[in-house]
Structure 1
């Protein structure tokens, strides 16, 4: 199955050296291009805007830039619906602009990771256009097509091949009148799922990935890659999922998450694409178990380098799911993160609070009031970055950007939020109640424009932004943060320095302390031949006093980093922490 590699002469700089395992000590910065920086005044971020602000990223001390999708797309799901995997959408620029971005990133000693979205394509991709042209089309089997349920006419409620509920509301099946069958879409109806059971599909994907590596890309973050294998029966049947109360739908996830051939497909991808390239292969894996994560990241299995798992960001979801937000239990968060730290000791994990799909953590689990926003953003960063794994910084996280607080459905742009609003109103819900549930968790909280300065559009654009700028950009912005040595930006820069200069931060083993404490998150990192690293953090807006029996050495050791320079000294084994105070000690 291996295809020859053809070097692309458009690459303008050599790829930086990639030592095996280089990513273990790396820090990744995620750019959401649509909202990062607009260079031409059309209100949408673009590749030139990223180039113009690369020094902001480089001076933060990160090693890798991860781009959310910039491929040609109808933008139904903001670029996660791709109509051409080997071209740049004109709203972002051109392939030549991307080549210049790759060169500029490499010149600064950083690497570039592309988002890879191959569980599904856009329904406007030529592959799907041919697939839907008729049941005898050459690419019909490149997607998942099924007839209506026996005894039903296509297009009527309940005729869908299964009862699966889409991530974006409604059924996962869309009726295609012309060809008389349904196609599967786990997400939007404009995002049909590719059929990974077909080897032609897999080789087409691998060829595309090789093309990007030849262009100078240093790796891929693979979107929902653990959904690519569906539990297909011997006659092509797909089973119904357990009923979801209050709807006519069922939960199909047992039949498409971590499916029966998932590991086989990722091993094949590793062999066919990047076995000898030492690139970064990151698997986004919703619903992944620790058991599967160990398999995905076991170096001997040659599948992926690390996973994104979602257990910790689901801990505040109530019975109604993400739209039913509940107060976070700090002991639950600590125990969950500790389980992944210890359970993936032989593998590798991605460390994150924020990304393009999550609300801003300083509003979610911190305190975004003027009094504590900076301290809580710093402490949340400290707790995360001192763990074992590769930390990810989402654009604006280094500034302590907050949720936006939209009050009207007209303010939202996210398809998931809009579909949920419409579906709930169809079921008779009060619009005000639905909006109240959307506001703290909508993905649009992460997608408001990057706040560069205090000008009317936050320095993001000279035009009208595609989505409203957070009003607090007059105080929370990069220009102010870079000037202030006590800012969140400079705290993150110091966190990255610690990872790059202390092996214990990268390789040390993890041990959770005080698991039941309601305010304090404390843990140690240990490595043979090194003093113990202690992280102790008050994750609340009230003072906290803790006794760390047996750890007097670290408490009296070198202070590597602190959020409060005037914090109270340790008294023996007892330590009093101010609200949102954290310390990193080595001793």
Structure 2
């Protein structure tokens, strides 16, 4: 039976500083023999997940869907797609996760539905039915053109003509993903009811997909963008979406009203949380705005660290800006997810254990909560697929300039020598690269120096350091490719140095700084006599309770 309270004591702010392991169910573990991962597969691997020393899981969509966008086109918010299992499977997953001390967060796709959703099927029938105004409909311009010049992230106009109503409907993503009209109070109430359904089943929180897309502005043309710079997933030179400043089609002030309603609902269920995905030109500002005070989202994450550029100065800039703008808000950081190229390939670290450990330490020493995408603990590289192997609509549309998201969604390799790497007894929905077998879980578990075991060790160490989980942060000037920061919490002060250079670095440091005896072996810097020595891609953490760090301590 469903239950609404975890079997362990509720900690109101468990999410603050938590590490959330993202599971893409299609690619995690298949137990039904159809080549597609399922909820039972997640249950079977919960011991593995718990062994990573993470605090929670995030399940990408498992709801009924035509799968045009692989679950992000929801046709029923209150059920499980048969390919993934049943509601009873989900209830059992929650129960089993809670028994292991793991919280369960799930994706909620609120800004749009599938065009197969009964709400849209009714809405499109006429202009005067009970749900006629549940989606964003608009008349054409006098010449029959779409109401505005807004572009969809997956290519082409964000407006689709419908012959039943002789109007256009808005879709910021695929044609099959019509946008809900959050200006209609009935829509807001209905969406909140859908969220409540899962709260009653015991979930601990929600990852809110494209949360700044819930409301649109006036039906006016967006102005052109002066320069196309790396940002949200659709902002690329090969995609017309990137040619506009998205002033009117998303991130509207009215969205805050909805977020406050959503937070009020979550507050009825103590210990639950929310993390919003923000894609915007000023995503850091939106992150700060959406998490201010206690009436909005608990936390947000953006695409700022999901960048192609691993230069330490480039990475440090958004972190410092976020701290300057955040106020009492709370960030969530990630270096990878189901929408971007695998970290090992994106940051030039394929097969480079030292770099991957450095990037892990970089992520896990920041102030905020953390999302860790499945396979990052193995160092999986981006799968190189041919055009005929693609299933992602974005990759198919924009090939070859953009190869889509399939390369980061290939199945988890569990056993190097098993059929389909232990993921399934049948051919998987996406191919498993041969090189992933050598990175399989069973191989890395046997190697004490593997990235998997380093991840476990660092996450276990982090759990014992309140300063790394909830402490304040201060960044020092970048010195010779070394990011230096300090974390402070209730009298505890930790100094962290991360060497992004491929050669050793030596820096001045407080004489009082001393290495932590319980730090894992990947923390390999040496603090002696006022000098910090870092190997190439080295990591150093020291305790320094009495030192004066107001001086420029991180100097050559």
Question: What's the TM-score, normalizing by structure 2?
Answer: 0.90
Secondary structure (helix, strand or coil) at the match of 1:182 reads strand
Residues 330/225 of structure 1: CA separation in 2 closer, same or farther (3 Å cut): same
Work out the CA distance in 2 between the residues paired with 1:574 and 1:550: 5
Is 2:67 aligned against 1:75? yes
- Describe the shift of the 1:366–1:341 C-alpha distance in structure 2 as closer, same or farther (beyond 3 A): farther
TM-superposed deviation, 1:31: 0.5
Q: Which residue of 1 aligns with 2:197?
A: 211
The match for 1:395 is 374
Moved more, 489-498 or 377-386: 489-498
What is the 5 A alignment of 1:369-518?
369=351, 372=352, 374-406=353-385, 408-421=386-399, 434=400, 437-439=401-403, 442-454=404-416, 455-515=418-478, 517=480
1:362 aligned residue (344, 348, 351): 344
Question: After alignment, is 222-231 or 569-578 more displaced?
Answer: 569-578
8 Å CA contact 1:563, 1:581 repeated in 2: no
Contact 1:560–1:585, Cα closer than 8 Å, also in 2: no
1:98-156 Cα distance to aligned partner (Å, 9 max, x none): 11111111111111111000100000000000001112221110000111112x23xxx
Q: Against the structure 1 CA distance between its residues 93 and 258, is the aligned structure 2 distance closer, same or farther, given a 3 Å change threshold? A: same
Q: Which deviates more, 126-135 or 262-271?
A: 262-271
Whole-Å separation in 2 of the counterparts to 1:299 and 1:516: 35
1:287-317 CA distance string (max 9 Å, x none) = 15434323321233x1110001222324x4x
| 1:580 maps to which of 531, 537, 547 | 537
Aligned pair partner of 2:499 in 520, 535, 538: 538
SS of 2:460 mapped into structure 1: helix
Residue 553 of structure 2 corresponds to none
1:186 aligns with 2:145: no
Give how far 1:34 is off: 0.4
**Aligned partners of 1:477 and 1:583: how far apart in 2?**
29
Following TM superposition, by how much is the alpha carbon of 1:520 offset from its aligned partner in structure 2, in angstroms?
2.3
Counterpart of 1:334 in structure 2 is 316
The Cα of 1:449 is off from its aligned counterpart by 0.5
Match for residue 241 of structure 1 among 222, 228, 231: 222
Q: Residue 533 of structure 1: SS of its match in structure 2?
A: strand
Counterpart CA distance in 2 for 1:103 and 1:563 is 35
Determine which of 37, 41, 45 is the counterpart of 2:33. 41
Q: 3-state SS of the aligned residue for 1:391? A: strand
Structure 2 residue 300 is the aligned partner of structure 1 residue 307: yes
Distance 1:25 1:385 in 2: 9
- 1:329-387: per-residue Cα shift (whole Å, max 9, x none)? 32121122222244325211102101111211122124213xx2x22221111111011
Deviation at 1:552, TM superposition (A): 3.5
1:552 and 2:524 matched = no
Per-residue deviation, residues 472-516 of structure 1 (Å, max 9, x unmatched): 122101112222222222222222223322211122222223425
Name the count of aligned residue pairs.
530
Q: Provide the C-alpha distance between the structure 2 equivalents of 1:132 and 1:309, rounded to a whole number of angstroms.
A: 33
Tell me if structure 2 keeps the 8 A contact 1:230–1:260. Answer: no
1:91 paired residue number:
83
Question: CA separation in 2, counterparts of 1:277 and 1:492?
Answer: 30
Matches of 2:86 and 2:348, distance apart in 1: 39
Deviation at 1:403, TM superposition (A): 1.0
Relative to structure 1, is the Cα distance of residues 367 and 273 closer, same or farther in structure 2, using a 3 angstrom cutoff?
Answer: closer
Q: Which runs of 5+ in 1 are unaligned?
A: 1-8, 154-158, 233-237, 317-326, 422-433
Contact 1:221 1:284 in 2 (8 A): yes
Alignment of 1:133-148 (within 5 A): 133-148=125-140
Partner Cα separation in structure 1 for residue 370 and residue 265 of structure 2: 28
**Could you tell me how far apart the structure 1 residues matched to 2:370 and 2:278 are?**
16
Alignment of 1:51-70 (within 5 A): 51-70=43-62
Task: Provide the aligned C-alpha RMSD in A.
Answer: 2.2
Indicate if the aligned counterparts of 2:75 and 2:115 stay in contact, CA closer than 8 A: yes
- Give the direction of change, closer, same or farther, for the CA distance of 1:343–1:473 in structure 2 (3 Å limit): same
Aligned 1:179-328 pairs, distance under 5 A: 179-232=165-218, 238-243=219-224, 251=244, 253-287=246-280, 288-300=282-294, 302-314=295-307, 316=308, 327-328=309-310
Alpha-carbon distance, 1:248 to partner: 7.7
Q: Give me the whole-angstrom Cα distance separating, in 1, the residues matched to 2:512 and 2:314.
A: 28
Say whether the 8 Å CA contact 2:515–2:542 is kept in structure 1: yes
Gaps of 5+ in 2: 227-236, 545-556
CA distance in 1, matches of 2:515, 2:288: 35
Distance 2:320 2:521 in 1: 23
Distance 1:516 1:420, change over 3 A: farther
For the residues of structure 1 that align with 2:366 and 2:266, how far apart are their CA atoms? Answer: 30
- Report the counterpart of residue 169 of structure 1 in structure 2: 155
The CA distance in 1 between the partners of 2:96 and 2:451, in whole Å, is 26
Cα gap change, 1:508/1:280 in structure 2, threshold over 3 Å: closer, same or farther? same
| SS at 2:519 equivalent | strand
What is the CA–CA distance in structure 1 between the aligned matches of 2:62 and 2:195, rounded to whole Å? 15
Alignment check: 8 A CA contact 1:499 1:505 kept: yes
Q: Give the secondary-structure state (helix, strand or coil) at the position aligned to 2:187.
A: helix
Distance in 2 between residues matched to 1:207 and 1:483, nearest whole Å: 47
Match of residue 323 from structure 1:
none
- Cα distance change, pair 273–205 in 1 and its aligned pair in 2 (3 A): farther
